[in-house]
Amino acid sequence: MGFAKMTQVAHYAPSRIVTNDDLSQILDTSDEWIRSRTGIGQRHISEHEDTSDLATKVAESLLSKSGLSPLELDFIIIATITPDHNMPSAAAKVQGNLGAQNAFAFDVTAACSGFVFALATAEKFMASGAYQKGIVIGAEVMSKVLDWSDRSTAVLFGDGAGGVLLEQSDRQHFLVESLNTDGSQWQNLQSGRKNLSSPFQEIVKKEPSFLTMDGRAVFDFTIRTVSKSIRQMLDHYPEEVDYLLLHQANIRILDKMAKKISVDRDKFLANMDRYGNTSGASIPILLSENVEKGLIRLDGTQTILLSAFGGGLTWGNLIVKI
Ligand code: 4VN
């Protein structure tokens, strides 16, 4: 038996910044429209790095901050919907890049909820007592799966990666967990469709592989279903939470959510103005930036709520004494 603790956090994004004005050169859109509807001002877009490269940078940073050898890692889990390949996993490539020969490695596919699902999974490995150290990373190169001629989706997303090092602790840090899926709504947000293509398929029906979203449906689901799940979780937790770190999809989600669940708007952290929506990477990037800033401390004195939601549809919340 054991308890997982996040002992280090790190993030990394490609250096190329694409502003809303840059996008308005290639799409019929404007800084005013994007900013007022989404809260996004710019995003990082990869020019030559793939998902495993971003994740490797984060993993190397976690190891150097902790002073650990890669050989001390027991597992590497990567949440991504934009892996370099379907096989091998991005995690396997990161394991190879690090030379983390004692670590098992696999990816988790739960879209924007991926990091929270992966962290909850990793926490169970740690709780079993069978493993001592592991890393969980959310990493995405969303720019690979976007339709760059569609102004309704291309302006929303960005590339980046963030992650945490988990080590054993003598105290419980992961306090409350709720993970959920509604697969009946899968069509509202999808990407990476692989069409049947064998010589035995007679009717060739090609569906797009780039990302498509029914924005209204996903927005309404988030306001209705995710708000309810966060409110329920807070009602069952006796103490105040210091900060809420929600998936960075749209600033209006945070504004509406704060009102709806009667939580002080100032407790909702945000960085989508600088990164856009980085899917599974959004929460760990936000966490890492705020630890760097000193607003969140990894000293076991603060309580945070992580809430992720997106494709699947999936949603998941964790309350962590960080
Ligand atoms: C959760 C949400 C979104 C999302 C949905 C809609 C949306 C983000 C539609 C209306 C448009 C502005 C943008 Cl709520 C995406 C994910 C996936 O990560 C998760 N933006 N918008 C407008 O105002 O016309």
How is residue 216 written in tokens?
């209204």
Which range marks the domain in which residue 193 is found? 175-321
- Active-site residues, by number, are 112, 247, 277
Q: Which atom, in ligand 1's list, is nearest to the CA of 157?
A: 18
The answer on 71 and 142 residing in a single domain is yes
Cα of 40 vs centre of ligand 1, distance in Å, is: 11
The answer on 179 and 86 residing in a single domain is no
**156 Cβ closer than 6 Å to some ligand 1 atom:** yes
Report whether 105 contacts 77 (CB < 8 A).
yes
The answer on 196 and 152 residing in a single domain is no
Give the pairing of strands 243-246 and 303-310. Answer: parallel
The answer on 186 and 166 residing in a single domain is no
Residue closest via CA to ligand 1's atom 10 equals 215
**41 Cβ closer than 6 Å to some ligand 1 atom:** no
Cα of 250 vs centre of ligand 1, distance in Å, is: 6
Which residues does residue 213 pair with via DSSP β-bridges, in sequence order?
189
**CA 109 to chain CA mean position, Å:** 11
The answer on 249 and 191 residing in a single domain is yes
The answer on 132 and 207 residing in a single domain is no
User: Could you count the other beta carbons within 10 Å of the beta carbon of residue 109?
Assistant: 19
Q: Give every CB contact of residue 51 below 8 A, 6+ residues apart in sequence.
A: 78, 80, 82, 83, 84, 90, 139, 140, 141, 161
Distance separating alpha carbons of residues 257 and 134, to the nearest angstrom? 33
Cα of 1 vs centre of ligand 1, distance in Å, is: 41
Domain finish residue from 129, 146, 171: 171
Where would I find the beta strands (DSSP E) of 183-287? Answer: 189-190, 212-213, 243-246
The answer on 148 and 34 residing in a single domain is yes
Q: 17 — phi, psi (to 5°)?
A: -100, 130
Distance separating alpha carbons of residues 180 and 258, to the nearest angstrom? 21
183: DSSP letter: G
The answer on 187 and 148 residing in a single domain is no
**214 Cβ closer than 6 Å to some ligand 1 atom:** no
Q: Which of 156, 186, 248, 278 to mutate to test the pocket of ligand 1 (most atoms within 8 A of CB)?
A: 156
Angle between helices 251-260 and 31-38 (to 10 degrees): 30
The answer on 145 and 97 residing in a single domain is yes
Cα of 248 vs centre of ligand 1, distance in Å, is: 10
Give the pairing of strands 133-141 and 159-169. Answer: antiparallel
The answer on 161 and 89 residing in a single domain is yes
- CATH number of the domain residue 163 falls in: 3.40.47.10
At 189-241, the pLDDT tens digits run: 999 999 998 999 887 778 899 999 999 999 999 999 999 999 999 999 989 99
The answer on 180 and 163 residing in a single domain is no
How is residue 76 written in tokens?
């590497």
Which residues does residue 118 pair with via DSSP β-bridges, in sequence order?
none
Q: Give every CB contact of residue 58 below 8 A, 6+ residues apart in sequence.
A: 10, 11, 12, 137, 139, 161, 162, 163
Per-residue pLDDT of the chain (322 residues; tens, 9 = 90+): 899 999 999 999 999 999 999 999 999 999 999 999 999 999 999 999 999 999 999 999 999 999 999 999 999 999 999 999 999 999 999 999 999 999 999 999 999 999 999 999 999 999 999 999 999 999 999 999 999 999 999 999 999 999 999 999 999 999 999 999 999 999 999 999 999 989 998 877 788 999 999 999 999 999 999 999 999 999 999 899 999 999 999 999 999 999 999 999 999 999 999 999 999 999 999 999 999 999 999 999 999 999 999 999 999 999 999 9
Write out the DSSP string of 53-71: HHHHHHHHHHHHHHT--GG
Measured at the alpha carbon of residue 89, what is the angle toward residues 144 and 194, in degrees to the nearest 5?
55
The whole-number pLDDT of residue 82 equals: 98
**280 Cβ closer than 6 Å to some ligand 1 atom:** no
What total number of domains does the chain contain?
2
The answer on 100 and 14 residing in a single domain is yes
